[in-house]
Amino acid sequence: MKDNAEKSRRKTCQVVGLPGDGIGPEVYTSACRVLSVIEETFGVSIELDEQLIGGAAIDASGDPLPPATIAACRKADAALLGAVGGPKWDGNPADQRPELGLLRIRAEFNLFCNLRPIVTHPALHDFSPLKKDRLEGVDLMIVRELTSGSYFGKKWRNDDEAEDVCRYTRAEIERVTRAAGQIAQQRDHRITLVDKANVLETSRLWRAVATAVIENEFPDVKMEHMYVDAAAMHLLTRPADFDVMLTENLFGDILSDEASMLCGSLGLLPSASLNDERFGLYEPVHGSAPDIAGQGKANPYAMLLSVAMMLRHSLAWHVEARALERCIHVCWNEGILTRDLRSDGYSTVEVTDRVCEKLAASATS
């Protein structure tokens, strides 16, 4: 993956907007408002090209990832996605499911490196099911391999048997380990490789290949090994001890949802999926939340933190990313939270208003 420093700052960038389904368009609208304020406040410009994905795309064209969406992404620096899916499409055949749009965009753009930062904030400790003393100082980055393993391997099923093949190549492990190594160098220089090397051959290959990459190419990074069952336990008993957690597709999916509970709500967690050229798909970790869609209750912070990741990783707009994160943290300190966190909470629009006000004021402060 290209080093962040290699990507120079440009004043104008192209972003594809993918609102999607359910609360996707609501949190996407928040993101657009915040991006407008960033343009005005910092003198930068974003050319936003809105396209279809998921259920909305199926309704419009019968295809969860239409060719126009792929073509727009090819020309862009990044894509910003709300969420896809919902009960309306649950009975659809396998090739007409909204989630397929997401799997296909990951494969189409080789988005092999999924980043999920898990950072607790003192103003939100009360909302986590874990004890406060375990939450202090939690700042970990889960690096999940996203385009291989059992999600993409050969699959078949009959009435009595089924198989999902988990296959990894040396090259696939090397590239995501390099990405994790670069990230660790910008953090505390520690990687925990999570696997099941006592049982699985793919894990043994991961361990051999990843260890060699770190030893040979990142001598300033220390790698430790942990079985996935132990990692699941330690994420709850001593989460603050982790720096970068590197793992394969399925383990990463499960561990990152578990780790999301440290922060207090699914509505607070951003993610980035990157390829070698630093094109990225940025999206909240949560889904389309059909139970609250259209009611103004969606928590927009996961989406706004995903915007901050996009500014940093794909646009190299570091000042703007830091300013947005700072404004979000100020809002948390002031208790500006949606109803998933407090019963008398603010609406999606009200939270967005407050973040925008603080951002606009940040230029003069």
Interface residues toward ligand NAD, by CB under 6 A: 23, 83-86, 99, 102, 266-267, 283, 286-292, 298-299, 302, 340
Reduced to 3 states (helix: H, G, I; strand: E, B; else coil), residue 342 is coil
DSSP 251-299: HHHHHHHHHHTTTS-GGG-EEEEE-TT--EEEEESS---TTTTTTT---
Question: Does 297 qualify as catalytic in the annotation?
Answer: no
Q: Which is nearer to ligand NAD, 66 or 85 (CB)?
A: 85
Determine the 3-state secondary structure of 69 from DSSP: helix
Separation of alpha carbons 260 and 270, rounded Å: 10
Supply the DSSP symbol for 338: B
Task: Compute the distance between CA of residue 304 and CA of residue 355 in angstroms, rounded to an integer.
Answer: 9
Query: Among the options 253, 340, 346, 358, which is catalytic?
Result: 253
CB closer to ligand NAD out of 317 and 346: 346
* Cβ 189 to ligand NAD shortest distance, Å: 31
The reply to whether 28 belongs to the active site is no
> Which of 12/295 has CB closer to ligand NAD?
295
Nearer to ligand NAD, 247 or 273 (CB): 273
- For residue 121, the minimal CB distance to ligand NAD (Å) is 17
Q: Give CA 251 to chain center in angstroms.
A: 15
Residue with tokens 């209750």: 297
Exactly one of 139, 257, 276, 353 is catalytic; name it. Answer: 257
CA distance 77 to 112: 16
User: What gap in Å lies between CA 109 and CA 278, rounded to an integer?
Assistant: 10
User: How far is CA 143 from each of CA 6, 11, 125, rounded to the nearest angstrom?
Assistant: 21, 29, 24
Work out the angle between the directed axes of helices 201-217 and 170-185 (0-180°, nearest 10). Answer: 50
- Give the shortest CB-267-to-ligand NAD separation in angstroms: 3
Residue 314 makes CB contacts below 8 A (sequence gap 6+) with 7, 13, 77, 78, 274, 278, 279, 280, 282
To ligand NAD, the closest distance from the beta carbon of 41 in angstroms equals 25
Q: Which is nearer to ligand NAD, 259 or 292 (CB)?
A: 292
What residues have CB less than 8 Å from 278, skipping those under 6 apart? Answer: 1, 2, 4, 7, 313, 314
Q: How far is the CB of 109 from ligand NAD (least distance, A)?
A: 15
Active site residue 77: no
- Taking the complex as a whole, how short is the minimal distance between the CB of residue 146 and ligand NAD, in angstroms? 12
Rg (CA), the chain: 20
Instruction: Examine the residue annotation and report whether 126 is marked as an active-site residue of this protein.
Output: no
For 57, the token pair is 């795309």
Nearer to ligand NAD, 86 or 280 (CB): 86
Q: Say which residue the tokens 């999600």 belong to.
A: 151
Instruction: Give the C-alpha separation, 355 to 352, whole Å.
Output: 5
Comparison of 78 and 221: residue with beta carbon closer to ligand NAD: 78
> Which amino acid makes up residue 220?
D
- Taking the complex as a whole, the smallest distance from the CB of residue 84 to ligand NAD amounts, in Å, to 4
Amino acid at 149: G
Q: Enumerate the active-site residues.
A: 151, 196, 229, 253, 257
